[in-house]
Amino acid sequence: MSDQIRPFKLAIPEDELVDLRRRLHTTRWPDAETPGDWSQGIPLSYMREVCEYWADDYDWCRCEDLLNGWDQFQTEIDGTDIHFLHVRSPHANAMPLLITHGWPGSVLEFRHIIGPLTNPTTHGGDVADAFHVIAPSLPGYGFSGKPTSPGWSVQRIAIAWGQLMARLGYDQYVAQGGDWGSVITRQIGVNASAEDNPSCLAINLNMITERPDPDTMDSLTEFEKNALAAAEHYKDWDSGYSKQQSTRPQTLGYGLADSPAGQAAWILEKFWAWTDCNGHPENALSRDDMLDNIMLYWLPGTAASSARLYWQSFGNRSQEDVTIPVGCSVFPKDIFTASRRWAEKRFRNIIHWSELDKGGHFAALEQPDLFIGEMRSCFQVVR
């Protein structure tokens, strides 16, 4: 294994884009939904509209230029190439921030926050708010390598991220995550809590999955009742994707890897269901932002490899305590929320607790200004 850090630059061949447009133009569409709304999935009319735009008007080169405008690298960790953004602040005392995406996200979730976090003085902040941003692509996602054998669990990724930060020369840093990034970052916190001199000083999570103890169920607040109702809705009506990905990711991959419309629908539905969008995803996210993210699944063909993280780790969340400082940023339309008293059962040193008034699961992409404020407020405590 080499610990070399290699510069990475995207250059997608034109013939891949030609093939994408051809596939979109020849999509075999299903019949329309019977209720005429989103209750059976994405309406046919909207899906056709998006794919027509994707084929005829969408500009991948704009997105490629955006990614290449940041410093990108690959390095081999535990036998797998890890792709990551490493955007350094121009300010000398910036704090290293390791930030992790989930499914169906990518490093492009952070597109609107990287500038303000790394160079706050040009975005309404103070020099004391500066961060170096390190954003890795999960194994099997984006332009990271695809593991060829089982074993890349949440626990293994958390260890790999620690190795990445050490390889970059950061002996102290903070970490943040949502979705799988929340689970991985929580595990980083568990690992750091067992160390005498931890490198990770504090973590922040924007998906809080802690649940109540049975003895508190008869004294639930309205917030807690709503949190449990949302979790029950997710279980009953919104978790079918996770059952498929956690049991048969390979079978799913055959369809999604062959059909850009299918891959897009699989992801776009979550941009509708998990955002604070008032019924339509483009009320929360721009069409280009969503398609750019989908391209990081389509171009490297990660339908199956990204889903395998569910097969490996879904339902195996750590129950261990985190004793290093923890910040919790609770966005109201996230798929899981929790009250502070639930979180305090496992997070023994909460230094920041915030319940935001808008935003959903893709917090950094939906509400970048609020998210930036959360990072600055949370981690100023440990600077």
What tens digit of pLDDT does each residue of 222-273 get?
999 999 999 999 999 999 999 999 999 999 999 999 999 999 999 999 999 9
**What tokens does 43 get?**
């309406």
Q: Which domain holds residue 59?
A: 5-382
Q: Is the dihedral of CA 272, 278, 282, 284 positive or negative?
A: negative
Asked whether the predicted pLDDT for residue 1 surpasses 70, the reply is no
**Cβ contact 175:188 at 8 Å:** yes
- 3-state DSSP call for residue 46? helix
**Nearby residues of 133 by Cβ (< 8 Å), 6 or more positions away:** 85, 86, 87, 89, 97, 99, 110, 114, 117, 118
**Cβ contact 252:240 at 8 Å:** no
Among candidates 174, 182, 198, 192, which has minimal Cα distance to 97?
174
Query: What is the amino acid identity at position 106?
Result: S
Q: What is the CATH number of the domain that holds 307?
A: 3.40.50.1820
pLDDT of residue 317: 73
pLDDT of residue 203: 98
Asked whether the predicted pLDDT for residue 197 surpasses 90, the reply is yes
**What tokens does 166 get?**
């050490």
**Cβ contact 320:345 at 8 Å:** no
pLDDT of residue 40: 96
Asked whether the predicted pLDDT for residue 316 surpasses 90, the reply is no
| Percent of the chain with pLDDT strictly greater than 90 | 95
Confidence of residue 215 (pLDDT cuts 50, 70, 90): confident
Confidence of residue 36 (pLDDT cuts 50, 70, 90): confident
Average pLDDT, the chain: 96
Confidence of residue 373 (pLDDT cuts 50, 70, 90): very high
Confidence of residue 218 (pLDDT cuts 50, 70, 90): confident
Asked whether the predicted pLDDT for residue 356 surpasses 90, the reply is yes
CA pair distance 326, 322, nearest whole angstrom:
8
**Hey, what long-range contacts does 69-72 have (CB within 8 A, 24 or more apart)?**
70/114, 71/7, 72/7, 72/8, 72/9, 72/10, 72/143
Which of 38-52, 55-69, 212-226 is least confident?
Answer: 212-226
**What tokens does 39 get?**
């209750």
Q: Where are the alpha helices (DSSP H) in 195-335?
A: 222-233, 240-247, 249-256, 260-273, 287-298, 303-313
Total domains in the fold of the chain: 1
Return phi, psi of residue 203, to 5°.
Answer: -130, 155
Mean pLDDT of 95-123: 98
Asked whether the predicted pLDDT for residue 383 surpasses 90, the reply is yes
Return phi, psi of residue 135, to 5°.
Answer: -125, 95
Asked whether the predicted pLDDT for residue 214 surpasses 90, the reply is no
- Residues classed as catalytic: 179, 310, 361
Asked whether the predicted pLDDT for residue 217 surpasses 90, the reply is no
What DSSP designation does 347 have? B
pLDDT of residue 318: 75
Rounded-to-5 percentages of helix, strand, coil across the chain? 45, 15, 40
